[in-house]
Amino acid sequence: MSVIRTPPRLSAWRERVDQGAYGFYARLPPSMRERVRRVAYALIPIVQCGIGAALAWWIASELLGHERPFFAPIAATIALGVSMGKRLRRAFELVVGAVIGIGLGDLLISAIGSGPWQIAIAVIAGQTIAVFLDKGAIFSGQVATSAVLVATLLPPGSNTGYERMIDALVGGLIALAMMSLLPVHPIKRARRETASLLGVSSSILREVAEGLESRDVDRIGDALQSARDTQPALDTLREQVGGGKEIISISPFHLTKRSELDGIADVLNPLDNGVRNIRVLARRAATSVEDSVDIHPKLINLIDHLADGLEDLSRYVARIPDAPDQVTMTRQLRMVAAGLQRELVSGGGITETVVLAQMRSILVDMLQVAGLSKISALATLPATVPKPAVRPEPLTSGEAKSTEGLAPKDAAREVLPPRVIKNMPEVFLDED
């Protein structure tokens, strides 16, 4: 069985690091490689947490003169975290939750004293208020935790409750400063995850094609498992895009990246749909082998060609220097789509029909990832009914022409139908 391809690298420095460490990295067990990869991706947020916690403590203790301001580094650390998603919301929930919890705890303990039943009342009251105000888990937890800390660590009648509120505010503000002044790049991580998913999808399709050709159900089963294992990566990609939008909204260094990130955000659903359809295709391919159903050789060949197209799309998204341009990729995927004709399953049963239908769905999804609108993507498919909702756009003679040396816009006008060009966003046609 061939090995799932390693996702393309996204920058020169990462390539140099990989060249130096790949031999050691490749010898690690798969589970250990995944752990090392997680640490590498989380390294900058981890450093941010450390610096933010130290700064928050220093400001609260040295500049504000608070004695042991433990809330400040706690707030900074939780607000930053190692997860890229919803950092702004975490910071807001933590600061507001701490303020409410400390204020409520101080008020209750000063009125009813400190003890087990008083702590129970403080927690119940705090979480009730938190759930009423907001559904965030961090918010309700922080309100209750802050109330408990006040009830257990601060003596009744103490006037230091307001200092703890300020400490929490300091931690939250430091977290915001760290996110805006020392930000994680908002685009690279999202591109890396997108390229990785496309690369893995390419390998899965290739395994399916080879498994169908060799009648190897185990090979297809392994590909199906790889397809199922992509869900965490899809979830991570959505988190990366959400985190990138937060960074762009507060960081002065990445304001110009909004349109590029929006372009990636627009393809999240088509990419998710495409990967899910690949899972269904792999499952049906395994069924065809188990049931001794013969899939048309041309259809198997088209699966392999689609794998080639997704591999090129992966390299394009990752911005590999020698990757094909978007026009070339779109043309390649359109040529695969043009071959997905109803005649390939003429006289066949449900299994062959499902394989063809899934291939058509995958093409529509991945053409949207490549930059086409859904209407333009649907128009690439040959008609299977007398009156299709979207009129097919047959391949033009120009799509066999070379586009070498042409700018992206000129190449698109040279080889693609007008409707495809009209629906292709400028962000995909502009040169880097």
268-278 in b/e burial notation, b at 16+ Cβ within 10 A?
A: bebbbbbbbbb
Do residue 176 and residue 257 come from a single domain?
no
Kindly report, residue by residue over 203-220, the tens digit of the pLDDT: 999 999 999 999 999 999
Same domain, 237 and 338: yes
Res. 22: pLDDT tops 60: no
10 Å Cβ neighbour count for 374? Answer: 14
The domain boundary, picked from 181, 204, 234, lies at 181
Q: Do 376 and 238 fall into the same domain?
A: yes
**Cβ pair 234, 307 in contact under 8 A:** no
Question: For position 266, which CATH number holds?
Answer: 1.20.58
Mark whether 240 and 106 lie in a shared domain.
no
Shared domain check, 133 and 26: yes
Question: In this structure, are 74 and 213 located in the same domain?
Answer: no
Please report whether residue 2 resides in a domain: no
Dig out the tokens for 246 from the structure.
Answer: 């937060």
Count: domains in the chain: 2
Question: What's the per-residue H, E or C state across 371-399?
Answer: CCCHHHHHCCCCCCCCCCCCCCCCCCHHH
Q: Are residues 219 and 302 in the same domain?
A: yes
- Cα gap 373→267, rounded to integer Å: 10
Same domain membership, residue 297 and residue 341: yes
Domain extent for 108? 13-181
Which of 153, 181, 209 terminates a domain? The answer is 181
Tokens representing 189?
């991580």
More confident of the two residues 22 and 208: 208
Distance between CA atoms of 189 and 230, rounded to whole angstroms? 16
Same domain assignment for residues 351 and 397? yes
pLDDT score for 12: 42
Residue 414: inside a domain? yes
Angle between helices 71-80 and 161-181 (to 10 degrees): 40
Looking at the fold, whether 69 and 95 belong to one and the same domain comes out as: yes
Tell me the three-class secondary structure of 312-374, residue by residue: HHHHHHCCCCCCCCHHHHHHHHHHHHHCCCHHHHCCCCHHHHHHHHHHHHHHHHHHHHCCCCH
Q: Give yes or no for a contact between 329 and 370, defined as CB atoms under 8 angstroms apart.
A: yes
pLDDT tens readout for residues 218-262: 999 999 998 898 888 888 888 777 777 767 766 666 666 666 767
Give the tens place of pLDDT for each residue, 288-317.
999 988 899 999 999 999 999 999 998 888
